Amino acid sequence: MPTVQFAGQSVPCPQGANLRLVLLRARLPLYNGAARALHCRGLGTCGTCAVKIEGPVNEPTQIERLRLGFPPHDREKGLRLACQCSVLGDLVITKYEGLFGQGDEPAT
């Protein structure tokens, strides 16, 4: 069973679980600020669930590639949308500052 590390916590989950749901069910701070209430609920359109992922997940979906290529995101940063990712092994997740998680410093 894979483990997801986020914000100093370690959460076990089934192989193939949706990363957004794993984090939300564990009550971990996936969204920043107003995005906690204002997000697309996992459709891949708002971009507020962006995180850095270290470890194995699926290839980016078409809508994920589209959204991460649109400001304030920048594909060069290598972020992923948690709502579009399946957990395929042990992961370490970092959330960055900014409403969309697009900042340069890790969120606190």
Examine residue 81 and tell whether it contacts ligand FES (CB under 6 A): yes
Q: What angle do CA 73, 78, 79 make, to 5 degrees?
A: 60
Examine residue 32 and tell whether it contacts ligand FES (CB under 6 A): no
Q: Where are the alpha helices (DSSP H) in the chain?
A: 19-25, 62-68
Examine residue 24 and tell whether it contacts ligand FES (CB under 6 A): no
Point out which span in 9-17, 42-50, 70-78, 97-105 binds ligand FES (CB under 6 A): 42-50
Tell me how far apart the terminal alpha carbons of the chain are, to the nearest angstrom. Answer: 28
Greatest CA separation found in the chain?
35
Examine residue 39 and tell whether it contacts ligand FES (CB under 6 A): yes
Examine residue 49 and tell whether it contacts ligand FES (CB under 6 A): yes
Instruction: Give the shortest CB-20-to-ligand FES separation in angstroms.
Output: 6
